[in-house]
Amino acid sequence: MPLVRERRGHVELVVIDREKAANSIDLETARALAEAFDSLEREGEVRAVVIGGAGDRVFCAGMDLAAVRAGEADAINSVPGGFGGIVRRDFPLPLVAAVNGAALGGGFEIVLACDLVVAAEHATFGLPEVKRGLLAASGGLVRLSRRVAPAVAFELALTGEVIGSARARELGLVNRVVARGSALEEAVRLAEQIAQNGPLAVRRSKQLLAAALQSGEAELWELSGKLASEVLSSEDALEGMAAFAEKRSPRWSGR
């Protein structure tokens, strides 16, 4: 299997396991990722997801060139959720990238589809497609200017420059930088911290934050009222307030 999955409490780990192929995405891997994210959308016990790559050299090198030469590019991009099963998916759960090395091209586009990013100190990021006469068409050009200042987005996209984890953190692309070999465990800790909170409140908070990047203020206030009303009337809201008053840990139901 090109994918390793592991459940840790309410956190699911999804690791691309093609280290010898730089954790690149071929058709088998694309289908496995799509199936994993499909199942996680239906899985009621999972509250946060961590995606990583095997080894400590490459997070994901993008699409497997051997698969491209074999004529599989369209099929790889056409799996549910788009490239990597995630770049075109409206995924409801918090998604944390554990970047253990190079995240270039499609690999960086997978990172940009995540909500939070933990990077090893030697990790690198970039959209080098223009250097090859190509377009970063799996969300990189769509999302980059929402994550960094427009001038920086233009520079990274048009030069194909590769940056390190320290610079990525300065730009707001990375939440935490950790020692080599620690990215996955730190990403799990971050996901576990999220998973301790009210599941419905977390999902709706993510939904509203995502909408804020795309919508006008009037639409946001309307959506905010709708989502706030749903969360406030939920079982979790009552449980959260009761647990606070009773000085105990809340028992979330996700309803």
Residues with a catalytic annotation lie at 109, 129
Element (H, E) at 195: helix 183-195
CA 111 to chain centre: 5
Q: For residues 125 and 109, what is the distance between their CA atoms, to the nearest angstrom?
A: 10
Closest CA to 26 of 87, 88, 75, 80: 75
∠ Cα 79 117 236 (to 5°): 85
For CA atoms 180, 181, 182, 187, the dihedral sign is positive
Q: For residues 119 and 56, what is the distance between their CA atoms, to the nearest angstrom?
A: 11
Structure token pair of residue 81: 């959720």
Structure token pair of residue 108: 């960086």
